[in-house]
Amino acid sequence: MTLLPQEVIARKRDGETLTAGEIAGFIAGLTDGGVNDAQAAAFAMAVYFRNMDIDERIALTLAMRDSGRVLDWSGLDGPTIDKHSTGGVGDNVSLMLAPILAACGAYVPMISGRGLGHTGGTLDKFDSIPGYTTNPDIDTLRRVVRQVGCAIIGQTDDLAPADRRLYAIRDVTATVENISLITASILSKKLAAGLDALILDVKTGSGAFMKTLADSVGLAESLTAVANGAGLTTRALITDMNEPLASAAGNWLEVKNAIDFLTGARRDPRLEEVTLALSGQGLALAGMASDADAGHAQARAALDSGKAAEKFFAMARALGATHDLARYAPDPAPIVRDVFPEASGHIRAIDTRGVGMAVVVLGGGRVNPGDSIDYHVGFDRLAGLGHRVDPHTPIARLHARDAASADAAEARLRKAYAIGEPHAARPVLYQYIAPQGDL
């Protein structure tokens, strides 16, 4: 017997375990209009308070995957690999990782998102590249992946449409912060992309969605258990977000940082460590390397040889970029100036979320999903933990559109930096998470 939407909601409200069929029926209604917004909101709230077990999460993920098209990459001469990050500040890893994996012989159809709140979005970074198409049709995605090896784009209308509708409702009903719903939202899109392997970067710390290591581990365990339970080979790394990962925060500034990284002009050490660790794990996961260390060596060779940079530039051209990015230098923001601390000493702590919100104040991020953003504002030359600064040694260089936003962002950045005695070095890689029984 098929349950009505309100019956499914009542069962979850009362703490009962939903069957795969009940979940699939509800999500089908979400897709075809049989479930209205009020019912979808009630369902999300019931799950928020009652949660879901692993089997329910798998069923929800698969139902949302199957609400639209599922890509098929059969016929390629290598595996399809992707990576997902839970987001942070200065996290431009995807811009290097996709071309590195492609240079190693993998195929990377990367479905990415836009930023909201203090976290930057990968698509917003690519939108700062003139001509680059972040929302091509599926045929273009297929062509670019086959020809170049990687394509970083946004979610198309026919991939996991139920997730798009449910997320929009969660966003306005205070039900985003639930591991069951987060897990299904992330993985439904990755499963719809038709991947062979997925590597996850789950952040922890002051700039992360999950602030504590325990919460980050909980999310990583949910993601890996559900992904593997749904048939997608997946592992996760817990990485540090107690300071910006790159020395730049802001869309074009992070693209420039990535180009410098790929070409060897400059590589931030922590960013390099995370990028190569994730690349190595991804190659091992897909069977392209005997283990993560061998994968790391392959990724390093692809980077240092310049092949990864060639893949990045080829991907940008194939998706419409109208400039030679190796030489492209857009007009700078009207105001570019250094930000100096008010005290002398070492940087002992950074409120990384505060750094991200300073970028938002400049106009480089969103408060609401529909907000427009300024792609050329932000910070570069960000000083990291342990660096010694003084009123003559800056903590960052600011790029702003006007004096008012510059002054407000500068005040926020200073507040985000705590100056004092040297702090013990913090690791950037915390923990490797595999499904239970595969540790």
* Structure confidence by residue, pLDDT tens digits, 357-369: 999 999 998 877 7
Positions annotated as catalytic residues are 82-85, 122, 170, 185, 189-190
pLDDT, one tens digit per residue, over 227-248 is: 999 999 999 999 999 999 999 9
Q: pLDDT averaged over the chain?
A: 94
Q: What is residue 366's predicted lDDT score, i.e. its pLDDT? A: 81
Q: What is the mean pLDDT of residues 280-289?
A: 97
Q: What is residue 421's predicted lDDT score, i.e. its pLDDT? A: 87
Q: What is the mean pLDDT of residues 329-355?
A: 95
pLDDT, one tens digit per residue, over 179-198 is: 999 999 999 999 999 999 99
Does residue 316 carry a pLDDT above 80?
yes
Q: What is residue 240's predicted lDDT score, i.e. its pLDDT? A: 97
pLDDT, one tens digit per residue, over 417-427 is: 999 988 778 89
Q: What is residue 439's predicted lDDT score, i.e. its pLDDT? A: 36
Nearest Cα to 242, choosing from 409, 91, 394? 91
Does residue 436 carry a pLDDT above 70?
no
Q: What is residue 289's predicted lDDT score, i.e. its pLDDT? A: 97
* Confidence band, pLDDT 50/70/90 cuts, at residue 72: very high
**Which of the two residues, 327 and 302, has the higher pLDDT score?**
302
Residue with tokens 């439904």: 188
Q: What is the dihedral of CA 91, 96, 362, 350, to 10 degrees?
A: 30
Strand residue runs (E) in 288-342? 335-339
CA distance 50 to 41: 14
Does residue 209 carry a pLDDT above 90?
no
Does residue 46 carry a pLDDT above 70?
yes
Q: What is residue 367's predicted lDDT score, i.e. its pLDDT? A: 75
Q: What is residue 156's predicted lDDT score, i.e. its pLDDT? A: 82
Q: What is residue 437's predicted lDDT score, i.e. its pLDDT? A: 43
- Residue 197 is classified by DSSP as E
Residues 6+ positions from 356 with CB-CB distance below 8 Å: 88, 89, 117, 118, 119, 120, 207, 249, 365
Q: What is residue 211's predicted lDDT score, i.e. its pLDDT? A: 86
Residue with tokens 């199957």: 66
Does residue 78 carry a pLDDT above 60?
yes
Q: What is residue 179's predicted lDDT score, i.e. its pLDDT? A: 94
**Which of the two residues, 115 and 305, has the higher pLDDT score?**
305
| Whole-structure pTM value | 0.94
Long-range contacts of 20-23 (CB under 8 A, 24+ apart): 20/55, 20/59, 20/62, 20/63, 23/56, 23/59, 23/60, 23/63
Domains of the chain, earliest start first = 5-50 (1.20.970.10), 81-156+172-326+429-433 (3.40.1030.10), 335-420 (3.90.1170.30)
Q: Residue 226 phi/psi, 5° resolution?
A: -70, -45
